[in-house]
Structure formats: C-alpha cells, structure tokens
Amino acid sequence: MKRKIKKWALRLSVTGLLIAVLLLIIILNPVLTYANKTEHASFTIYHQKPIDSLLYVKLDEAAVLLQKSEFYNNKLKLDICLNDGSLYPTLIRKLRGRAFAWGFYDKVVLQGKMNEKGNYLELNGYKWNLIQLLAHEMTHCVQYDKLGLWKSKPIASIPNWKWEGYAEFIARQNQDQTDLIRNIDRLEQAPKDSWEISFEDGTISPREYYNYWLQVQYCLVVKQMTYDQLLKDKKSETDIKKEMTSWYRSIKQKATLSGTRRT
Ligand SMILES: [Zn+2]
C-alpha cells in the first residue's frame, strides 16, 4: 500500500512538473497562441485580428516616455501581446490576476478593451491612458532587463510602491502630471472614498498607484535621488509619506503667506 502511495505521489509530481514546464514554454513563446506576429521598431506585436495602424503611433510615443528611465536600454526588444481573441491574455490573467495589463520579463500583455483612437484601454468601466499604460508596462520590462529576474519582483522583495511607483513615474509625463504640488492637489481634491484618481483626459489611476507614483516623484525629483539609490534606500513608505506631506504643507503655507502679503 505504502509503495502504491509513493508511486502515485511520484506520478503526480512528475505530471505537475510537466504542466509547469509546458506553461512556461507557452508564456515565453506567445507565437504558440497567436495567429499573427507583426514587427514594428523594437516591438514584436502578437495579435489575432488586423492591427489598427494607430497602435504603432502609441507604441512609439510610449517608447519615447521610456527614455526618461535611467535603466533605459535602446537595444531592448519587447513583445506586445494584444487582447484580441488569443488564449494568451486569459492565461496570464488566470496566473497573475485581473489587471489593465501586465509587464514582465520582455513582455507587455494587454487585458481589457483597447481603443487606439480614444487613446485608452477600458476595464470594468475604467479607462487607463493607453500610451501611459504601455509605458508603465514597458518600464517593468526595463526593470527586469537592468536588475535581472532574481532581483526583480515578484522574486525579490522590492516594496510595491518602489516597483509600481517608478513605472507610473516614467509613464505619467503629460503636462498636467509633471508638477508634484499639482499632483498632490489633485489627490487632496479627489473624493475621499474613491478607488481611483481621475486625470483631466478622463482616464484614471488607481488611488494606490497614484500614491506610489507621488512618493517616487518626491524622492526622484525633490530629493534628487536616482532610482538605483531609491531601491537601496532603507526609509519606509510611511516615513517618505510623512516627509512628503510636511514638504507639501510648508510650500502651501508659504504660498498662502505670500498671497496674503500681496493683498
Ligand atoms: Zn505595474
């Protein structure tokens, strides 16, 4: 009986291992689950349906945003996996959970419904700016490229705010997003119980990511740290938040005082 149990346990673990290897092969080779593959600049786009040529413009614009990263590598080639009927995005969603998109290794996997003309990707009624979403996920690929798989999330224990906040910092470069004071103002003015923070173009950022972004913006712009220094820095998220809030309050106070003096 014992020998039988052992035999079955061995069979089960071998089957499990084979399934894991098969999954890994499929994940690393989107070509297996897509009908079409199109090359554009440093991107390989995997798709089922014909591509809207506007997508090329969005990819190019996202690639320009990416150049702001100190980890930028112009030789990096990325796979862009569209959510237009292939099993691939569903598989990634089953493995990693529901999201607007996923960026890992050298792959950007879109979820939700993409609207190239409106420049957004919609999920559950929320819209994410498409160029900025692409740039966000590409930033994760740049993080993988520079840090290596073992020093990247989820294997390395990098705090979420440093990982996601940096992707937001690189992606959010619209004119109305580069001033930290204005960004904190937007957060202060948002309804307190809302899940999302809305931008002027009608797209959103989840409140959690919005906070991460501002903290990274504070460290990199106000404190003039490099991203590499931020990754090594030992200060907690709470400390940075406190520091940023008192910096914001003091600037607001100064602005009020000089306004009072003028009147
Ligand atoms: Zn992300």
Tell which residue, 144, 52, 69, has the closest CA to residue 107.
144
pLDDT of residue 4: 80
pLDDT of residue 173: 96
Start and end residues for every CATH 3.40.30.160 domain found in the chain: 32-148
C-beta atoms surrounding 1 within 10 Å: 5
Cα of 253 from ligand 1 centre, angstroms: 34
H or E, element range at 114: strand 113-115
pLDDT of residue 3: 77
pLDDT of residue 158: 95
pLDDT of residue 261: 57
Q: Could you say which residues of the chain have pLDDT below 70?
A: 1, 260-263
Contact 178, 141 (CB under 8 A): no
Residue that has been written with the tokens 């004071």 in this structure: 181
Cα of 200 from ligand 1 centre, angstroms: 21
Predicted TM-score (pTM) of the model is 0.92
C-beta atoms surrounding 170 within 10 Å: 29
Give SS3 for 79. Answer: strand
Q: How far is the C-alpha of 157 from the C-alpha of 152, rounded, in Å?
A: 8
CA dihedral sign of residues 125, 167, 207, 176: negative
The CATH fold assigned to 32-148 is Glutaredoxin (3.40.30)
pLDDT of residue 176: 93
Cα of 137 from ligand 1 centre, angstroms: 6
Summarised one tens digit per residue, pLDDT across range 146-178 is 999 899 998 889 999 999 999 999 999 999 999
DSSP string, 6-59: HHHHHHHHHHHHHHHHHHHHHHH-GGGT-SEEEEETTEEEEESSPPPTHHHHHH
What distance lies between CA 252 and its chain's CA centroid? 31
CA dihedral sign of residues 156, 96, 102, 212: negative
Cα of 107 from ligand 1 centre, angstroms: 12
Cα of 256 from ligand 1 centre, angstroms: 37
Cα of 164 from ligand 1 centre, angstroms: 5
Cα of 167 from ligand 1 centre, angstroms: 6
pLDDT of residue 254: 85
Cα of 104 from ligand 1 centre, angstroms: 9
Using alpha carbons, list the distances in angstroms from residue 50 to 41, 45, 124, 134, 215.
Answer: 18, 11, 24, 19, 40
